[in-house]
């Protein structure tokens, strides 16, 4: 039911872990629904220089987290904010229809982490 | 090819060689229609009769109380709708439980739309129905009590005999979905006061697509399939001859080997459960420790999700199943796990391993070797595990 790419990113996920003193953290989903994604960012000169994730969820949840982090690593914040769930799913050679919500969660997790970074920037510049 | 271990026998079993061998001639040589008068037909009829005898003998019924069906779901549908429609003037109330198979639950929900009233009894933390709850739910409109013999997910064996006695005392029909029990547990329909019992051949090493409904003599029930005079005018359609032959052989074999197989599976089951609990923290056994199907293991692993567990096991050649929402296509985890009181997040992390006659001690060792690494890998990826490292808040 999953593509080879999904299985690859599930079995060998990229960028798993945490970042100490991250510049931004985003967490979406909840345990009740069976999916939680947490993204950690390190940002320098508006560029995502490092990104890590931790995910509780199904195979697609883990694979989309991995792929989303790959897609935005080394990108500017604006480029990362333009990431869509469809781009994540496409990069994985597609997802079963009932798993598309995982790609939405991945997009939202990246955006939440960037929002967290922006609000911290705003707070420190005041 | 790496090692392959099948531990999903509650989903389906392989067809045993002896069973298949007995079925094969009925495709190519003895292919007559059991309703035909000629020698081909008589040969086929004899085979159906033998299968019926073997089936009746397995749980102390009479041959004229066995009706072959297209499987367990059909038997459940027939029992419940057939009783409801035939006894409507007596009442419109049905009692069942919240942990039944969907073949029973969805049939009851359908009848609710047709004007019937259904009580779904709760279960305790082990998945047991309290017979006192059954008694209390009975009204003067109750026409049927349907309680499964043993649960397909968590393996809990219900107090069927007590419930049967209560049903008999109140003059209410008692149906039991014994799809997971037949061939695995001793059953006596007379001693247990069972009026209707559903079974399915592929759960005890017979072929798929064939089952049976036991209907006690004198029970008022409508036919399910209308048409020809097959199955004493109660289930029309040319008999699935090879399937019925296979069911008969499989049930005979299963009941001949019942004690030995049960002893072997129970020992493997308990070794698997204790081995996993020793090697992995924050694990919960779902279902009853003792009143449980010989081959059933159902565990919840905190901090991780069931589908990722299944996929990881599959990569190691181990076939299992889960009560996780992600494997079923719905958002909620298993209704059975929720009914025994598991919080959603724990129910999501459940794993069912069901052992069968082809499993060996080496298979158990292999699972015990592979599973801890898999659970650890997934936990290391889980934000829930990081948050609560070191403290256990769930028992």
Cβ–Cβ of B384/A37 closer than 8 Å? Answer: no
Element housing A38 (H / E):
strand A35-44
The CA distance from B314 to the nearest CA of chain A, in Å, is: 11
Edge-to-edge, what's the strand order for the sheet holding A47-56? A24-30, A35-44, A47-56
Going by pLDDT thresholds of 50, 70 and 90, the confidence category of residue B53 is very high
pLDDT above 50: residue B395: no
Contact B359, B268 (CB under 8 A): yes
Q: Which of B191, B161, B166 is nearest to B176 (CA)?
A: B161
| CATH code assigned at A54 | 3.90.1010.10
How many Å separate Cα B181 from the centre of its chain?
Answer: 6
Task: Read off the tokens for A65.
Answer: 């987290």
Contact A72, A53 (CB under 8 A): no
Around B21, how many Cα atoms within 13 Å sit in the side-chain half-sphere? 3
Mean pLDDT of the residues in chain A? 95
Q: Which of B102, B95, B112, B76 is nearest to B198 (CA)?
A: B76
pLDDT for the residue numbered A76:
97
Q: Measured between beta carbons, which residues in chain B are less than 8 angstroms from residue A56?
A: 303-305, 381-385
Q: Which of A36, A59, A98 sits opposite B383 (nearest CB)?
A: A36
Q: Measured between beta carbons, which residues in chain B are less than 8 angstroms from residue A54?
A: 381-383, 386
Q: Which of B205, B302, B291, B211 is nearest to B254 (CA)?
A: B205
The CA distance from A58 to the nearest CA of chain B, in Å, is: 5
Maximal CA-CA distance, chain B: 76
The three-state (H, E, C) secondary structure of B220-241, written as one string = CCCCCECCCCHHHHCECCCCCH
In the set B225, B311, B326, B338, the catalytic residue is B326
Does the ipTM exceed 0.90?
Answer: yes
User: What's the rounded Cα separation, in Å, for the pair B7 and B371?
Assistant: 13
Strands B296-301 and B350-354: antiparallel
Going by pLDDT thresholds of 50, 70 and 90, the confidence category of residue B331 is low
pLDDT for the residue numbered B332:
75
Q: Which of A16, A27, A31 sits opposite B345 (nearest CB)?
A: A31
Residue range B289-295: average pLDDT?
98
Question: Percentage of chain B surpassing pLDDT 70?
Answer: 95
Residue range B125-132: average pLDDT?
98
Q: Which of B124, B367, B156, B390 is nearest to B282 (CA)?
A: B390
Contact B146, B95 (CB under 8 A): yes
pLDDT for the residue numbered B394:
41
Task: Read off the tokens for A60.
Answer: 């697609």
Going by pLDDT thresholds of 50, 70 and 90, the confidence category of residue B393 is very low
Cβ–Cβ of B329/A61 closer than 8 Å? Answer: no
Q: Which of B312, B326, B329 sits opposite A34 (nearest CB)?
A: B326
Alpha helix stretches (DSSP H) within B59-119: 72-86, 102-113
- Domain count within chain A: 1
Q: Measured between beta carbons, which residues in chain A are less than 8 angstroms from residue B386?
A: 18, 54
How many Å separate Cα B29 from the centre of its chain?
Answer: 34
Can you give the pTM of this predicted structure?
0.94
User: What's the rounded Cα separation, in Å, for the pair B343 and B363?
Assistant: 31
User: What's the rounded Cα separation, in Å, for the pair B148 and B160?
Assistant: 8
Task: Read off the tokens for B42.
Answer: 């008589």
Q: Which of B207, B130, B221 is nearest to B174 (CA)?
A: B221
Interacting residues of B37 by C-beta distance below 8 A, sequence separation 6+: none
Q: How far is CA B301 from CA B236, B284, B297, B314, in A?
A: 47, 7, 13, 17
- Identify the domain containing residue A42 by its residue range: 4-124
Chain position carrying tokens 């009894």: B121
Interacting residues of A33 by C-beta distance below 8 A, sequence separation 6+: B325, B331, B344
Task: Read off the tokens for B349.
Answer: 């992390």
pLDDT above 90: residue A124: no
Task: Read off the tokens for B2.
Answer: 């790496």
pLDDT above 90: residue B391: no
Q: Which of A11, A27, A56 sits opposite B303 (nearest CB)?
A: A56
Contact A31, B345 (CB under 8 A): yes
pLDDT above 80: residue B11: yes
Contact B147, B118 (CB under 8 A): no
Mean pLDDT of the residues in chain B? 95
Element housing B118 (H / E):
strand B117-121
* Phi-psi sector, B182: left (phi>0), alpha (psi -120 to 50), beta: beta
Would the CA dihedral through B284, B288, B289, B295 be positive or negative?
negative
pLDDT above 80: residue B392: no
| Residue B196: strand, helix, or coil | strand
Q: Which of B286, B265, B127 is nearest to B205 (CA)?
A: B265
Phi and psi for B119 in degrees, rounded to 5? -100, 125
pLDDT above 70: residue B324: no
Residue range A17-46: average pLDDT?
94
User: What's the rounded Cα separation, in Å, for the pair B37 and B33?
Assistant: 9
Chain position carrying tokens 């009560």: B323
Contact A105, A35 (CB under 8 A): yes
Contact B95, B142 (CB under 8 A): yes
| Residue A122: strand, helix, or coil | helix
pLDDT above 60: residue B329: no
Q: Measured between beta carbons, which residues in chain A are less than 8 angstroms from residue B385?
A: 56
The CA distance from A48 to the nearest CA of chain B, in Å, is: 21
Angle at B286 between CA B284 and CA B289, to 5 degrees: 100
pLDDT, tens digit (0-9, with 9 covering 90-100), for B335-390? 999 999 999 989 999 999 999 999 999 999 999 999 999 999 999 999 998 666 55
Residue A58 falls in the annotated catalytic set: no
Angle at A25 between CA A76 and CA B312, to 5 degrees: 100
Cβ–Cβ of A16/B381 closer than 8 Å? Answer: yes
pLDDT above 70: residue B16: yes
pLDDT above 60: residue B292: yes
pLDDT, tens digit (0-9, with 9 covering 90-100), for B252-284? 999 999 999 999 999 999 999 999 999 999 999
């Amino acid at each position: 039911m999953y593509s080879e790419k999904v299985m690859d990113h599930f079995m060998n996920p990229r960028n798993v872990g945490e970042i100490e003193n991250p510049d931004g953290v985003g967490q979406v989903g909840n345990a009740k629904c069976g999916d939680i994604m947490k993204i950690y960012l390190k940002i320098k000169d508006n560029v995502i220089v490092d990104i890590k994730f931790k995910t509780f969820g199904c195979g697609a949840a883990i694979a989309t987290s991995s792929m989303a982090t790959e897609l935005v690593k080394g990108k500017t914040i604006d480029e990362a904010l333009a990431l869509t769930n469809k781009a994540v799913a496409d990069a994985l050679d597609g997802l079963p229809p009932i798993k598309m919500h995982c790609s939405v969660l991945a997009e939202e997790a990246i955006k939440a982490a960037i929002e967290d970074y922006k609000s911290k920037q705003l707070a420190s510049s005041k | 090819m790496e090692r392959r271990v099948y531990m999903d026998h509650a989903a389906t079993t392989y067809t045993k060689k002896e069973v298949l061998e007995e079925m094969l001639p009925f495709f190519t040589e003895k292919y007559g229609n059991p309703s035909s008068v000629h020698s081909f037909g008589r040969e086929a009829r004899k085979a159906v009769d033998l299968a019926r005898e073997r089936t009746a003998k397995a749980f102390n019924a009479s041959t004229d109380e066995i009706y072959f069906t297209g499987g367990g779901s059909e038997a459940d549908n027939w029992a419940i709708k057939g009783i409801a429609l035939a006894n409507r003037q007596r009442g419109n109330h049905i009692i069942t439980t919240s942990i039944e198979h969907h073949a029973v639950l969805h049939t009851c929900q359908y009848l609710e739309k047709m004007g019937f009233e259904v009580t779904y009894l709760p279960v305790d933390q082990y998945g047991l129905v309290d017979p006192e709850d059954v008694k209390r739910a009975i009204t003067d409109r109750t026409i049927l009590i349907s309680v499964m013999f043993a649960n397909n997910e968590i393996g809990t064996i219900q107090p069927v005999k007590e419930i049967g006695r209560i049903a008999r005392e109140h003059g209410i029909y008692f149906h039991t979905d014994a799809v997971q029990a037949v061939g695995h547990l001793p059953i006596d329909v007379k001693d247990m006061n069972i009026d209707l019992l559903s079974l399915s051949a592929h759960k005890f090493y017979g072929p798929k697509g064939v089952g049976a409904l036991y209907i006690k003599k004198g029970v008022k029930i409508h036919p399910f399939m209308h048409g020809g005079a097959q199955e004493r005018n109660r289930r029309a359609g040319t008999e699935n001859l090879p399937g019925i032959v296979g069911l008969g052989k499989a049930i005979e074999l299963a009941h001949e080997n019942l004690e030995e197989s049960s002893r072997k599976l129970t020992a493997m089951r308990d070794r698997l459960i204790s081995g996993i609990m020793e090697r992995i923290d924050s694990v919960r056994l779902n279902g009853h420790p003792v009143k449980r199907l010989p081959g059933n293991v159902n565990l919840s692993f905190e901090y991780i999700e069931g589908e990722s567990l299944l996929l990881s096991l599959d990569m190691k050649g181990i076939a299992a199943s889960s009560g996780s929402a992600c494997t079923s296509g719905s958002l909620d985890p298993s209704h059975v796990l929720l009914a025994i009181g598991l919080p959603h997040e724990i129910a999501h992390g459940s794993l069912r391993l069901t052992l069968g006659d082809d499993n060996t001690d080496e298979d158990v060792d292999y699972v015990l070797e592979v599973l801890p690494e898999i659970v650890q890998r997934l936990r290391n990826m889980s934000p829930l595990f990081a948050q609560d490292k070191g403290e256990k808040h769930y028992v």
